[in-house]
Chains A and B, each alone.
Chain A
């Protein structure tokens, strides 16, 4: 009886931990691309990790935010699956900014004011020295976790593809070296 209860509790615990499992895989996938974690902020259903893209000549850092929407309960998991939003933000940093950048900053922000970074769209946020590009995807956690070779590869490709798209968007804003 005790074992039965413990098994039930364990399954529930693992089900509720799927987003953390995916986050762990994301951390490992980024580490394999040479990006180390430099900031964590995690709570029950929201995890945000910042990576330092030292190996990337253009990008300064990448933020990955995983916000679980469904699937913590057995019923929702059965009906809706384990859906989460994966928000990826890439950042470039310019070492020197001048007043002309202020004008460019307001222009960029104005152009992106009503843009929503969903369904593959990319929203830019120009903050003088930093320019950030954000996109948001809705994913099914079960597609990428728990780990197996196929899911690991798929996750790696998803992250690389997303970051590449953001890098292309940010490239015009990078000044010098």
Chain B
């Protein structure tokens, strides 16, 4: 598409945009020629002039803008101009050399897009993608002082209204997506002296243009700075390994809490077998366990019903690892009278709605002739199983032994 008009050589009417260098403008054709000669214009840059519907490749209009200049005056490079703003109703006045320049910003990339929030539309999102580095291709390395983009170098002769208007006329940068622009813009500091119409397009919202307001230099608060580097080892592989290791440790803690009752069951089996008993019955669904032991010599039996109460790490940390244990001791009684008495006691035991610790109940099995006395307890598994799964068999044997001895005394005293 052709250019609606070719500005005068000294008319600051050109806006140049590049993905890598940001935007500059309005500048004159002479200034553009100077920049091109100095290699400050990256390839693939875009140009906009008032009247054009959108950005167009600079190469398409280079001949008209630059090559047609008869006498290219290598003027001192213009200071960086603020980023273009969404198109406004009024174009910037073309005053040629005396044209009031918009506030000059140190670097293009430091200038937030001049987009008033109410005028902003996705197409007009600022093209700012550049980081906050002070040096940009527009300014060039070792550029002369006049071209140095320093904060506060605004040769600001424009009135706030003109500044806002000029900024508002700047076209939307075509190539960038709105989301990317907004995000990128949010990361850019607005340099001092930028036109007030340079509104921030950060996701946190834009501010209304205010000509008199100095602009911020620090990044937008809405755009959180990159996560602060933790004090991590320098070697990334070591960091990754540590993360994996920590994850596995967390998983191991979770699993330990869930299966500590199974550890306890194995410990009960081992310690009871060590006292001469044999495991004759085992039923388990993972949470509820039923064990029955018998001393094959004297035929006495020990019964354990265990239920894991704290399979969760969180609960276990509060109340400790707890298991509900019903420990019983049984002997064979051949006397029918004693069996009947045991059954009678069992019926009385059934009246208990909920057994409490220390309450001894009786259970009789007429078929096998066994009578059991049993007691409810709540055991703290942490007393028997250490963090590294080491088991205190001595304590466990002592506790189980003391319980069975008490039950044996009751049983023999009651049914002797």
Q: A3 vs B299: C-alpha distance in the bound complex, in angstroms?
A: 14
Tell me which residues from 259 to 309 in chain B have a Cβ below 8 Å from any Cβ of chain A: 259, 262-263, 265-267, 269-270, 273-274, 278-286, 289, 293-294, 296, 299
A14, B332: Cα distance in complex, Å: 14
By a CB distance below 8 angstroms, the chain B residues around A10 are: 299, 332, 368
The stretch that binds B, out of A33-41, A71-79, A136-144, A159-167, is A33-41
Chain B interface category by residue count:
35 or more
Question: Quick check: A21 and B263 within 8 Å, CB to CB?
Answer: no
Whether, in the assembled complex, B248 has its beta carbon less than 8 Å from a beta carbon of chain A, the answer is: yes
> Assuming A31-B270, A54-B388, is B284 touching A24 (CB within 8 A)?
no
Judge if B244 is at the interface, Cβ distance under 8 Å.
yes
20 further interface pairs, Cβ-Cβ under 8 Å (given A37-B269, A40-B265) = A6-B332, A6-B334, A17-B280, A24-B273, A24-B278, A24-B279, A24-B293, A27-B270, A27-B273, A27-B279, A36-B263, A36-B391, A39-B259, A40-B262, A41-B284, A50-B262, A51-B266, A52-B263, A54-B388, A95-B244
CA distance A105 to B410 in the complex (A): 60
Does chain B have a CB within 8 A of A96?
yes
Give the interface SS of chain B, mostly helix, strand, loop or mixed. Answer: mixed
Give the CA-CA distance A124 to B279 in the complex, in Å.
32
* Binary interface encoding of chain A residues 8-39 relative to chain B, with 1 for a CB under 8 A from any of its CBs, else 0: 01100110010011011101100100001111
Q: Which residues of B contact A36 (CB under 8 A)?
A: 263, 266-267, 389, 391
- Bound form: Cα–Cα A42–B287 in Å: 12
| Interface residue ranges, A against B (CB under 8 Å) | 2-3, 6, 9-10, 13-14, 17, 20-21, 23-25, 27-28, 31, 36-43, 47, 49-52, 54, 95-96, 145-147
Give the shortest distance, in Å, between B388 (CB) and chain A (any CB): 7
Q: Restricting to B342-393, which residues have a CB under 8 Å from any CB of A? A: 367-369, 388-389, 391
> How distant is the Cα of A39 from the Cα of B367 in the complex, in angstroms?
32
Q: Judge whether B245 is part of the interface by a CB distance below 8 angstroms.
A: yes
The residue among A25, A40, A41 with the most chain B CB atoms within 10 A of its own CB is A40
Report B75 CB to chain A, min CB distance, Å. 60
Q: Kindly state whether residue B336 has any CB partner on chain A within 8 Å.
A: yes
- Closest B residue to A50 by CB, please name it: B262
Chain B residue contacts of A51, Cβ below 8 A: 266
A95 touches B245 (CB 8 A): yes
Find out whether the CB atom of A37 lies under 8 angstroms from the CB atom of B283: no
Q: Known contacts A14-B280, A38-B259: does B245 contact A54 (CB below 8 Å)?
A: no
A95 and B273 CA atoms in complex are apart in Å by 36
Residues of B within 8 A of A (CB): 244-245, 248, 255, 259, 262-263, 265-267, 269-270, 273-274, 278-286, 289, 293-294, 296, 299, 332, 334, 336, 367-369, 388-389, 391
Looking at the assembled complex, report how far the CB atom of B141 sits from the nearest CB atom of chain A, in whole angstroms. 44
Contact in complex: B336, A2 (CB < 8 Å) = yes
Report the bound CA distance from A3 to B323 in whole Å: 37
Is the pair A17, B269 in contact by a Cβ cutoff of 8 Å? no
Name which residue of chain B comes closest to A49, CB basis: B266
Provide a sorted-by-A list of 30 A–B residue pairs whose CB atoms are within 8 angstroms: A6-B369, A10-B299, A14-B280, A20-B279, A21-B278, A23-B279, A24-B269, A24-B278, A24-B279, A27-B269, A28-B270, A31-B266, A36-B266, A38-B259, A38-B262, A38-B263, A39-B259, A40-B265, A40-B282, A42-B283, A42-B284, A47-B282, A49-B266, A52-B389, A54-B389, A95-B245, A95-B248, A145-B278, A146-B278, A146-B296
